[in-house]
A and B are shown apart, each in its own frame.
Chain A
Amino acid sequence: MRGRAAAGICAIALLPATLILLSLDARSRRITHAQEAAMRLAVVHRLPSSDLALSGGARWLRTPSLEEPGAAFSDGPALPDPDPAGGAISPPRDAWNEEAKIGRGR
């Protein structure tokens, strides 16, 4: 009976033990990452943006946050086009409207 009870306790304790193990590993990786943060930011400062070097299906879009405000592009092979009407950051419509009003008044 003792053996079975011990096996049961081990099975129940497996989840908390796994979670603690994974969180400890995650914590140690975060600490290592944080120690290199300043160095990483210095490199990013040289780059056009902080976009990751992952790119989309459209290979010219290395920094999607900065580019192609009006162009449709595919996010990956056979994936639905995520931005059929343009980029994620819209053009400055308010400013353009304001400018148009000023222009009409001239």
Chain B
Amino acid sequence: MKRWLSLLAYATASLRRRAGKSLALASGLALAVTLVASILFLTDALHADADRARDAVPAIVVERIVAGRIATTRASDVEAIRNPAILSVKSIRPRAWGYLFVPALQGNVTVVGVPSDEPPLDQRAIAEGRDLKSGAHEMVMGSTLAHALGVVVGDDLQLPSLGLKAPALKLVGTFDSDVDLFAADVIACDEADARALLGLQENESTDVAVDLSNPEEARVVAQTIVDRLPGTRIVERDLLGRVYALAYGRRSGIVLAASIPALVALILLAWDRASGLGPEEKKEIAILKAVGFGTSDVLLVKLVESWIVASVGAAIGLFLAYSWVFWLGAVGLRPAIAGWSAIYPEQALTPMVDLAQLFAIGLAVVGPFVALSILPAWRAAILDPMEAMRG
């Protein structure tokens, strides 16, 4: 034990003697780890958030396509889906939602019509005020949007609509910041008000949501709907998972590609370790051997030095990446991976990474770094002391 502690003490002292080089190596490693780990953390968190929410969306969404673009669904289309009844279809909901360009924001807000039979929201979802009442010309909006528009609960707001036919809506509540990731840019109002704002006729809807009692039958139900309404576009819930994986995978890939220079720097650092020892270090090893250090002792000291540098670099890198993404909200990085919305959600992300994954990342950094230092350490350890001292 004493021998081990002595060797460890010697390795620590040796690193301190070459403090500049050790610090440069650890900092370079930390920087590369921060960059790569933060992209992985952010992508994982966004993907997981979108994926978890998939359970709440309808099993099938039916859209009408006209001239390659989405057109409003007609009442006759809804009737065609409804009759004759399709087995395992639980409900068919024509939905009224869409976008409204707000000049004050120079961006679009999402207007969602809430049907009158929709159950009221859990009060925890409302940060301030209450949920809307049907027929009272009320609205609930994302807190980020309310902040951007400069409105508070109790204010009346005349949103732009065709010929300003839509009534002014009273803000009765704001969504909690916990749902900001989904509702930052949303205005939820009565379905009739949404139709007035979006210019939808009574017999029109944006799309049709189909809920199933057995989601496994989504493909069969989708086929039946396409048979009845040829040319419609069916979005199945399962496909959304693939869309999210594609979107976030692609974005993180682009950002990772942009960070190749940093990764090259990491490889250069590793190469520096592999390329051998300087004359000073060789001399030091020769003296060690002359005073009684064995080959295995020298090898061990060099490995411990590498382990300490890699371990400190990886620890600082992972800590910086984690705090950047989850404590500081990935300032600067988030728009590159997440998107460029005009009204940006401010909700903190939920980390998906666990201890096993963190250890895997840590070992992926430390392992190769230490492995690369074995060969030069071995070369140094088998040096003839007299030859090394002569230079």
Contact = CB atoms under 8 A, between A and B. Distances in A.
Interface of A: 1-2, 4-5, 7-9, 11-12, 14-15, 17-20, 22-23, 25-27, 29-30, 33, 36-57, 59-60, 62-71, 75-77, 79-80, 82, 88-89, 91-92, 95-96, 99
Contacts of A80: 254
B100 to A, nearest CB: 11
A67 B69 CA distance: 8
B6 interface: yes
Interface stretch (B76-84, B152-160, B229-237, B287-295): B229-237
A46 B112 contact: yes
Contacts of B263: none
Q: Name, among B53, B54, B124, B223, the residue most crowded by chain A CB atoms within 10 Å (CB to CB).
A: B53
B75 to A, nearest CB: 19
A59 B308 contact: no
Interface size class of B (residues with CB under 8 A): 35 or more
Contact of A79 (B232, B240, B254): B254
B55 interface: yes
B243 interface: yes
8 contacts: A26-B354, A46-B121, A48-B207, A54-B341, A55-B341, A57-B340, A63-B110, A69-B68
A40 to B, nearest CB: 5
A5 B9 contact: yes
B307 to A, nearest CB: 6
Give the dominant DSSP class at B's interface: helix
Contacts of B222: 92
Contact of B240 (A41, A45, A50, A56): A50
In the A-B complex, the 6 residue pairs with the closest CB atoms: A54-B339, A55-B341, A50-B53, A4-B9, A26-B351, A23-B355
